[in-house]
Structure 1
Amino acid sequence: MLKIYNTLTQKKEPFKPIHPGVVDMYVCGPTVYNYIHVGNARSIIAFDTVRRYFEYLGYHVNYVSNFTDVDDKMIREAHQEHTTVPKLADKYIKVFYQDIDALNVQRATKNPRATHNIPDIINFIKVLVKKGFAYESNGSVYYRVKKFPTYGALAHESLDSLESGASQHVTSKELAQKENPLDFALWKKAKPGEIHWQSPWGPGRPGWHIECSVMATKYLGDTIDIHGGGEDLAFPHHENERAQSEAKTGKPFVHYWMHNGFVTIGKDNEKMSKSLHNFVMVHDLVKHVDPQVIRFLMSTTQYRRPIQYSDDSLKEASSNLNKLRAAYNNLNYRLKGAEPGLDSDVQQKVEQIKDHFKSAMNDDFNVQNGIAEVYKLAKLGNVYVSQSKVTKDTVELLLHELVTLSSIFGIKYQAPKLNDDKIKALIQKRADARKHRNFKLSDQIRDDLKAKGIILEDTPQGTRFRRE
């Protein structure tokens, strides 16, 4: 049985979906004012891996991840780039898709944008005001935290300690507008010249927290199975989402709260973030590092653990990925010319590996133990194809399971492509084999090349080749 660590209860709990065979999952997406960095990519990849495992188990996953396309950062960046907030968002959403495609991240079922859901946001806030959970103050609307009795449960902090901490970070001007320093903005009054929408409280724009509550409940329902994001979002963002949503609907908002660990960098293991200016942009990194290596590094570390990003960690990921690629190539190479039949001993070992793989992944997506089973499968394949005779069904079984299990980690395999020098070397090897009347080797080289799309043509002037 699959168990998930729930941040709210701080324990692993058996996964029981709301709707049998379906997983409704919401993951906080980026604020699209710049490129995503490796730290952002960690969360994206972690939850894509979770999603892929659910699909491997046979679930249909409704995966929603938002774009925050209006906030203070968007407004500042648009001003600096001499453009509008919508145009800035369009620019970076396009690049976001390019970057996640490079990392082999599956597209979300839906990527809603905050600015495309303004009427729903306003209506949501109206309900909170009517119920007494929110109040208008000088053109802005704030959530009344003290009215929500379990506020702080996700952060595992008391209301008093949170209130004390908040008071140190709120300006006197903000405090004058709020009933409590912890109260947070649902609707922000627009400053002169800022992008805004009309509302019952005057021109303004939504606060950051409200958009996720609105889009999660709009597209997935009042109660959802899983809500994910980086561990820095647990408080205040997810705490505020929970308070807003449950105040409006009167129902539990999320059954399983999942939070991934940070990416750290440097000798002091600092959290990678734009605010610390220690980030590496994915858009730049994929230009000189194989995106599959980046993906492999991120997807083979259990999602709650931190990842140390460095040249050494990338080299280790590359080395381990190449071991799997080599096994895939070895199996492909022996597929042609394999005899009919299935090796029952190998089949039994494959089933054992699959069982151990599922046991690992069912333990809160323990990908480290999961990928260890994939390595075992690769080793089994390498040992099998080293035999003088192999059977086609056995090789196909090994290939299928290697590809299937690897795909959960986002690994894609491609049959090796031969360059002209390698082809010429094989043609010479074939010519030498024919000279020594080793026609079996000669025919094998010809057939292997044909399987790779290379056609040999023997002419009086020598052997030529062409690609199909």
Structure 2
Amino acid sequence: MDSIKVHNSLRPGPPVLFTPIEQGKISWYACGPTVYDHSHLGHARNYVSTDIIRRILLHYFGFDVKFVMNFTDIDDKIILRARRQRLLEIEKKKKYTDAELTELGIAAFRAYAKSNLPKLLEGDGAPLDLQNYIPRRDAAYGQVLAGGTLTGDGRPGDDEAKLKMHISNMTTAVIAIGGNQPFSGAEEILLPYFDSLYKESLDTSDQTIFTSLTQLMENEFTKDMDALNVLRPDVVTRVTEYVPQIASFVEKVVEKGFAYEAQGSVYFDIAAFEKAGNTYARLRPESRNDKALQEEGEGSLGKSLGGKRGPSDFALWKKSKPGEPYWPSKWGNGRPGWHIECSVMASDVLGSRMDFHSGGIDLAFPHHDNELAQSEAYYCKHGHEHVWVNYFLHMGHLSISGSKMSKSLKNFQTIKDALASTYTARSMRIVFLHGRWNDGVEITPSMRTQADTWETTVNNFFTNVKSLLVEANETTSAVKSGVEGLSISENKPAEGLLAELEQAKKEVSLALSNSFDTPQVMRIIADIIRKANINIGAPNGNLELPAVESIARWVTKIVGILGLDANAKPPYEGLGWASTAMSADVDPTAAVQPYKAVYNSVLSDTESLGLPTSETLASLLSQSPGPEFDSLVEAGIRDPEQLGLPYLRATSKLRDELRRIVASAAPELKASILNLSDRIRDFDLTNIGVYLDDRPDGQPSLIKFIPAAELVAAREEKAAKDAEKAKAKEEARLAREKAEAEKWEKAKIAPQDMFKGDDRYSEWDSEGMPTKLKDGSEVPKAQLKKLKKEWDRQTKVHGEYITKFGGL
């Protein structure tokens, strides 16, 4: 095994050598979600990337990984969301007159503008209302709405995204308030307004106000992660289950002189920490004086807390104000600060040191830097700096239109919506695998195309290899041969495709050892498949099928390790995507039933055709797939596709024989044979996820396993296209018939009569040609020349009409 190197945020620069605290084991704490809303694609980027690294360490490098993740189930965002929702519910039950509703909406409208869009209150001195909102909005913020920035320079970012969110909330509210329906569209401006008026009226000793929200969102998050095939944590912690331990932890930090109480809150003393020889902001030293990040880390409800000695000191324990949940402590009723939560929970499960700590890159400062400081303060002994985390892994965030995808910016797509519309769990993971885990990523159409192409390449390769093995009747022995396929003799170097495979294995090992370089792994897989496909397409006799199978089995193992097959389990010794969740307790008889049912139906329908007997047909009609199926069961095979092969081969052979004899069959049998042949391929087998690839020159059809949904969708798409072609053909036929009828209807008119009814003329000669215009003047020569050409053409077509219809 190559030495593993990993990007460590504590050591900026190239990857550094990974040395675990305990040989063969890894302790890992991951910052989990703050569960106050549905998870979005930004969360997927974080947790799927984390899962990929965890799987590589578990199933490629063989580490025993203890993975701990927390749910932050109490913080400022949760308090605000839960409290405001409860207040909104109370307000909705009140009886408002129409006038009172409008007055309420306008008051909330102006309050929201004052807090978030103050420029709307500037101007002609008139108060902001529903009528002057649009012109004031466009005058104040039109540049940003048009795609520009607040400063006029650079690209739009988080500030512009936040501004657009506030404008969107205001614009939506205008419509709702104008329609006297503020509770159905203006909630985003009503929520903070009600909170400002009534937050202190809530009895927060009833913590179900908050836990009913967090428990719901935690369950939703877990469902999302399961849907994305993210391994569940070994240990889950929740802040609300650790409050007494948090208070005790804070007490010890105070006792050691690194924190102090002020006005009922407790703050970490950065100056004292550094005076003792420790380092603060080790992850992001350049951000230590960033006031905006500091305020974000303290939370929106912490702004009014006072008594800090240093401007950068951060809260370990917050005095609870009216309208906030609280727990008892030696400093009075309060609640944990944000950063202290992870320090206590991680330490409780993993101890005073851990190998990995991970989270999104936006947590590096202040959250992770503050975690480090308070934990090192807790554990350090006089004169000795304590190492709490050896390696910090920060996942790059997901961007959209230049700004971070975020709940607070409301520029996100939920995981649930994404999986229901534009992604599968596999396709989303493939997109993330094509980017480095520690780099930011903005999903573009070209990135999606690259990922889709890669997935199609792997899908087709697995399908083709399995069909070739079925044709060669080698599947049963291949299944028994193990994941590595052919063995390489120690005395004989690998050649051809096997040499390419050995090189690919070495390159993947190097890539994964180089800070889990999955983009490189994806390129290596695509390249080895390309080489195998070249061999598959080589002239007859040059196919290295055992080597191709070995490549397919190795690719299966790697994509399994990367989490791309939700149905597969370690050690990923199958071939291709697992058709169903692999389990030792699969009932072979039940699993094979769909394939057996199709075979029995085809056998019965073929017999009922009354075909002329032949030795080949008689042999096929009397074949019995049962013994081969029984041997697979005895061999321990539990993959439904493998179990179904005896019945599929028998079905395919019967259909191939029908295709062979149809040319010489009696006319009255041909239609029946063709209909049965098409039905077997397009319906019977398609509906159970099997495609028969017909080949020319009497070659047997290839059996290909393809998801039934894909085959049915392709069949329906083809049927729709065929129907459209038939419709277009019928419309063209009708148009031709109409044109033909109109042509002969016009041809019926004798040339002598064609101009007689035209009121532009008043006299005609004996052949029906006009001689005078309506006003009695002579027909101009140029016009007469044109009319003569028309008369000649009519003479010709009328002659054709006489010939065709006999003048009727």
Q: Classify the TM-score, shorter chain.
A: 0.7 to 0.9
Which moves more between the two structures, 447-456 or 373-382?
447-456
For residues 247-294 of structure 1, what are the alpha-carbon distances to aligned partners after superposition, in whole Å with 9 as ceiling and x for unaligned? 00112011111212221112xx22211232211111211111222111
8 Å CA contact retained: 2:297, 2:367: no
Decide whether aligned partners of structure 1 residues 75 and 5 sit closer, same or farther in structure 2, where only a CA change above 3 A counts.
same
Secondary structure of the 1:62 match is: strand
Aligned ranges 1:32-43 → 2 under 5 Å: 32-43=35-46
- TM-score (norm: length of structure 2): 0.51
Measure the CA separation in 2 of the matches of 1:13 and 1:165: 28
The Cα shift of 1:17 comes to 0.4
For residues 17-44 of structure 1, what are the alpha-carbon distances to aligned partners after superposition, in whole Å with 9 as ceiling and x for unaligned? 0000011111211100011111121111
Q: 1:153 aligns with which of 282, 296, 299?
A: 282
Decide whether aligned partners of structure 1 residues 314 and 131 sit closer, same or farther in structure 2, where only a CA change above 3 A counts.
same
Partner of 1:54: 57
Aligned ranges 1:139-218 → 2 under 5 Å: 139-149=264-274, 150-157=279-286, 161=289, 174=304, 176-218=306-348
Measure the CA separation in 2 of the matches of 1:178 and 1:102: 45
Measure the CA separation in 2 of the matches of 1:253 and 1:75: 30
The Cα shift of 1:119 comes to 2.0
Which moves more between the two structures, 244-253 or 276-285?
276-285
Partner of 2:374: 244
Measure the CA separation in 2 of the matches of 1:167 and 1:31: 17
The Cα shift of 1:47 comes to 1.3
Do structure 1's residue 253 and structure 2's residue 388 form an aligned pair? yes
The Cα shift of 1:312 comes to 4.6
Measure the CA separation in 2 of the matches of 1:380 and 1:169: 52
Corresponding letter in the other structure for 1:451:
L
Identical pairs, percent: 33
Secondary structure of the 1:286 match is: helix
Aligned ranges 1:98-109 → 2 under 5 Å: 98-109=223-234
Aligned ranges 1:217-296 → 2 under 5 Å: 217-250=347-380, 251-266=386-401, 269-288=402-421, 289-296=423-430
Do structure 1's residue 123 and structure 2's residue 248 form an aligned pair? yes
Partner of 2:458: 324
The Cα shift of 1:314 comes to 2.8
Measure the CA separation in 2 of the matches of 1:29 and 1:314: 27
Partner of 1:79: 83
Measure the CA separation in 2 of the matches of 1:155 and 1:391: 54
8 Å CA contact retained: 1:334, 1:395: no
8 Å CA contact retained: 1:197, 1:205: yes
8 Å CA contact retained: 1:265, 1:310: no
Corresponding letter in the other structure for 2:64:
H
Secondary structure of the 2:7 match is: strand
8 Å CA contact retained: 2:262, 2:306: no
Q: 2:500 aligns with which of 349, 358, 382?
A: 349
Corresponding letter in the other structure for 1:253:
W
8 Å CA contact retained: 2:266, 2:317: yes
Instruction: Indicate the structure (1 or 2) with the bigger Cα radius of gyration.
Output: 2
Partner of 1:409: 562
8 Å CA contact retained: 2:33, 2:71: yes
Decide whether aligned partners of structure 1 residues 168 and 351 sit closer, same or farther in structure 2, where only a CA change above 3 A counts.
closer
User: Which of the two has greater helix per residue?
Assistant: 2
Aligned ranges 1:63-74 → 2 under 5 Å: 63-74=67-78
Q: 2:11 aligns with which of 9, 12, 15?
A: 9
Q: Structure 2: where are the runs of 5+ without partners? A: 87-207, 381-385, 479-485, 488-493, 566-576, 581-590, 607-611, 629-640, 656-668, 690-808
Secondary structure of the 1:157 match is: helix
Secondary structure of the 2:16 match is: strand
Measure the CA separation in 1 of the matches of 2:546 and 2:303: 73
Measure the CA separation in 2 of the matches of 1:116 and 1:45: 26
Decide whether aligned partners of structure 1 residues 350 and 338 sit closer, same or farther in structure 2, where only a CA change above 3 A counts.
farther
Which moves more between the two structures, 326-335 or 125-134?
326-335
8 Å CA contact retained: 2:434, 2:518: yes
The Cα shift of 1:81 comes to 3.6
Runs (4+) of structure 1 exceeding 6 A deviation are 167-173, 389-392, 434-439, 446-449, 457-468
Measure the CA separation in 1 of the matches of 2:341 and 2:309: 22
Secondary structure of the 2:450 match is: helix
Measure the CA separation in 2 of the matches of 1:352 and 1:406: 18
Measure the CA separation in 2 of the matches of 1:252 and 1:121: 20
Measure the CA separation in 2 of the matches of 1:324 and 1:206: 49
Corresponding letter in the other structure for 1:90:
Q
8 Å CA contact retained: 2:73, 2:239: yes
Which moves more between the two structures, 42-51 or 333-342?
333-342
Decide whether aligned partners of structure 1 residues 452 and 197 sit closer, same or farther in structure 2, where only a CA change above 3 A counts.
farther
For residues 381-428 of structure 1, what are the alpha-carbon distances to aligned partners after superposition, in whole Å with 9 as ceiling and x for unaligned? 4345456576876455333311221123321124499x99xx89xx79
Corresponding letter in the other structure for 1:287:
A
Decide whether aligned partners of structure 1 residues 177 and 225 sit closer, same or farther in structure 2, where only a CA change above 3 A counts.
same
8 Å CA contact retained: 1:296, 1:409: no
For residues 344-370 of structure 1, what are the alpha-carbon distances to aligned partners after superposition, in whole Å with 9 as ceiling and x for unaligned? 534333221111011112112211111
Count of matched residue pairs: 454
The Cα shift of 1:435 comes to 11
The Cα shift of 1:166 comes to 5.3
Measure the CA separation in 2 of the matches of 1:435 and 1:376: 50
Which moves more between the two structures, 222-231 or 306-315?
306-315
Measure the CA separation in 2 of the matches of 1:115 and 1:36: 21
Partner of 1:451: 645
Corresponding letter in the other structure for 1:369:
Q
Secondary structure of the 2:524 match is: helix
User: Which of the two has greater strand per residue?
Assistant: 1
**Root-mean-square deviation over aligned CA pairs:** 3.8
8 Å CA contact retained: 1:43, 1:229: yes
Corresponding letter in the other structure for 2:459:
R
8 Å CA contact retained: 1:330, 1:382: no
Decide whether aligned partners of structure 1 residues 282 and 73 sit closer, same or farther in structure 2, where only a CA change above 3 A counts.
same
Which moves more between the two structures, 329-338 or 46-55?
329-338
Aligned ranges 1:314-393 → 2 under 5 Å: 314-336=448-470, 337-339=472-474, 342=486, 345=495, 346-386=497-537
The Cα shift of 1:157 comes to 2.9
8 Å CA contact retained: 1:334, 1:385: no
Measure the CA separation in 2 of the matches of 1:168 and 1:110: 28
Corresponding letter in the other structure for 1:2:
I
8 Å CA contact retained: 1:4, 1:15: yes
Measure the CA separation in 1 of the matches of 2:557 and 2:46: 22
Measure the CA separation in 1 of the matches of 2:255 and 2:309: 17
The Cα shift of 1:80 comes to 3.6
